[in-house]
Amino acid sequence: MREELLAIIEKNSRIDLQELAAMLGVAEIDVVNELAALEREGIICGYHTLVNWENTSIEKVTALIEVRVTPQRGEGFDSIAERIYKYSEVSSVYLISGGYDLMVILEGKSLRDVSNFVSDKLSTLDSVLSTATHFILKKYKDHGTIMDQQKEDEREVFIP
């Protein structure tokens, strides 16, 4: 049930427990226990909401920053990654194979906000060799969800 449960709540974490149990064909208490176990084991790490900020009046800027760094002896990339992810404006940090090392995703209020962060904080870290900042212009699809898509049932009535 674990994999199926995860697949369902990954798409809809607000789903009703009763309904979830019915869909999985198990008792509600089993779902509750399994969810608790998944949280305890660090498999479920949070329940977030996918917000399309573009449809609000609130300004937000998302940037994707490629960072090349010098790995530290004995620590690899972990300690430099930690120095970066501790900043609250950083929303994601990934270690990447290929032309650069870390991909940092940043959310700021404005372009200036982001560029300040990159020039004042990120670039000045000792082990950071270079950065390349890409601003996100439009989100078409995020976390498997197509933004701005209201899908109607277009099936026509036929007999039967």
Q: Whose Cβ is closer to another protein: residue 12's or residue 119's?
A: 12
Q: Which two tokens stand for residue 131?
A: 């950065």
Give the full edge-to-edge strand order of the sheet including 61-69. Answer: 90-95, 102-108, 61-69, 128-135
Tokens 């937000």 label which residue? 60
Question: Which DSSP letter does residue 114 get?
Answer: H
CB-based contact 107:92 (threshold 8 Å): no
Question: Which DSSP letter does residue 157 get?
Answer: P
Alpha-carbon separation of residue 157 from 145, 150, 151, 160 (angstroms):
28, 21, 18, 8
Q: Whose Cβ is closer to another protein: residue 28's or residue 113's?
A: 28
**Nearest approach, Cβ of 17 to another protein (angstroms)?**
13
Question: Which DSSP letter does residue 122 get?
Answer: I
Q: Whose Cβ is closer to another protein: residue 30's or residue 54's?
A: 30
**Residues interacting with another protein, by CB under 8 A?**
4, 7-8, 19, 21-25, 153, 155, 157-160
**Nearest approach, Cβ of 62 to another protein (angstroms)?**
26
Q: Whose Cβ is closer to another protein: residue 23's or residue 105's?
A: 23
**Nearest approach, Cβ of 34 to another protein (angstroms)?**
15
**Nearest approach, Cβ of 46 to another protein (angstroms)?**
23
